[in-house]
Amino acid sequence: MSHITLIRHGQANTEARDEHSYDRLSDLGHQQAAWLGEHLRASGASHPRIYCGTLTRHIETAAGMGYTEEVVQDPRLNEMEYFTLAQAMEKQHGLAIPQEREGFIAHLPQVLAAWAEGEIDDAPESWSDFETRTQAALSEIAAGEGPALVVTSGGLISMAMRQAMMLEITGMARMALAIMNTSMHRLFPIGGHWSPVLFNAVPHLETPDRHFAQTHL
């Protein structure tokens, strides 16, 4: 097994309330990606294999980091459709979609729990399918030669951490809420299993003049 470094995409359209509108980087998102790419090159990090999902924000982040032709796009690395699930929860169960970030602290675990229990009708995919595709994609990547870099989204990263750490849904939700844009998360094989050896690292955003760029949405 090779180790995998997961990267959340740069800041997307924070004003969006649907999947399509959200799926593009903001100006800051492009800058975050460029800074991360510069950091990786300056640190001499070697990632002979680069992957990303097929969402626009994934592709734009990888390109902004300096990766284009060598990137393998895999739809299994795409994010869960949280906006679609949230809209279904509001319509079917009367759970209002929060208008401020603080509201998602309670909202996210409720949506994930209902999804996992099959209580959301006509969900874009099942919880089981999301679990399975996450594990399958990362297992295939880990079986390859050399360290891999994977540009994806916070929900998939938190699912990968849930599987590695056997987290309950509440723990997974707390982890998802904490993940910053263009943060790095590393899974390392120890004893035949993945162990997180890096979580939510943003060394490219640590200098005082870049603290403003440590965003979650």
Give kind and range of the element (H or E) at residue 50. Answer: strand 49-52
* DSSP per position, 68-128: -TTEEE-GGGSPP-HHHHHHHHHHHH--PPPSSGGGHHHHHHHHHHHHHTT-STT-SS-HH
Rounded Cα distance, 181 and 164, in Å: 21
Residue 89 pLDDT exceeds 90: yes
- Domain 7-197 class? alpha beta
User: Left (φ > 0), alpha (ψ -120 to 50) or beta: where does 212 sit?
Assistant: alpha
pTM: 0.94
pLDDT in tens, 31-83: 999 999 999 999 988 888 999 999 999 999 999 999 988 899 999 999 999 99
Rounded Cα distance, 43 and 6, in Å: 17
**Average pLDDT in the chain:** 94
131 backbone dihedrals φ, ψ, rounded to 5°: -60, -45
List the chain domain ranges.
Answer: 7-197
Residue 1 pLDDT exceeds 70: no
Rounded Cα distance, 14 and 7, in Å: 19
Of 137, 140, 142, 179, which is closest to residue 158 (Cα–Cα)?
179
